[in-house]
Amino acid sequence: MFDNNFAPNPFLPYPNDSNDGGIGIFLNGKKLTFDVEPRIVNNRIVVPLRAIFEAFGATVEFNYAERTVTSKLEDKVVVLIIGDDSPSVNGQTVLIDQPAIIINNRTLAPLRFVAEAFGGTVEWNSATHVAEIHTNNNKP
């Protein structure tokens, strides 16, 4: 079941918007690579949505006409609308302050929202610009 106890600002803070190419994303210790680099938008790390969902093992479906992305993993269903700040997890709306966006023909979504929607946790190291995602069964 989805945990509604998200902090009011459930995203990774970062001081500036940028695409410095230096943001490392790891999932359970494995470095992820993307065809569009993760970046900072409105002080939030955004990552290519398909790549991060598939790294979790989830399926991804796009509805281009409705500008929606639906991802499924086991008992979780996540639905995001491009540009909308209220995605849903298992039918429950979650407010986010950085909606999914399109950059270089790729949909990018807030990293922390995606990770937590599928039961993961995120640790951000501002000194190294590395975000480490741990799934429930792979926490350090």
Tell me the pLDDT tens digit for each residue of 83-96: 999 999 999 999 99
| Count of C-beta atoms within a 10 Å radius of residue 131 | 23
pLDDT category of residue 40 using cuts at 50, 70 and 90: confident
Q: Structural domains in the chain?
A: 24-134 (3.30.457.10)
pLDDT category of residue 67 using cuts at 50, 70 and 90: very high
The residues near 64 (Cβ < 8 Å, ≥ 6 apart) are none
Strand order in the sheet with 24-27: 30-31, 24-27, 130-134, 121-125
Which 3 state secondary structure label does DSSP give 61?
A: strand
pLDDT at 43 exceeding the cut of 90: no
> Stretch 48-77: mean pLDDT, rounded?
93
According to DSSP, residue 18 is labeled: B
Lowest pLDDT segment from 9-13, 64-68, 101-105, 106-110: 9-13
**How many angstroms separate the CA atoms of 47 and 51, rounded?**
8
Of all helices (H) and strands (E), which one includes residue 113?
Answer: helix 111-117
pTM: 0.78
- Residues 10-32 have pLDDT tens digits of 333 333 344 445 899 999 999 99
| Count of C-beta atoms within a 10 Å radius of residue 56 | 20
| Res 21: pLDDT | 52
**How many angstroms separate the CA atoms of 107 and 50, rounded?**
8
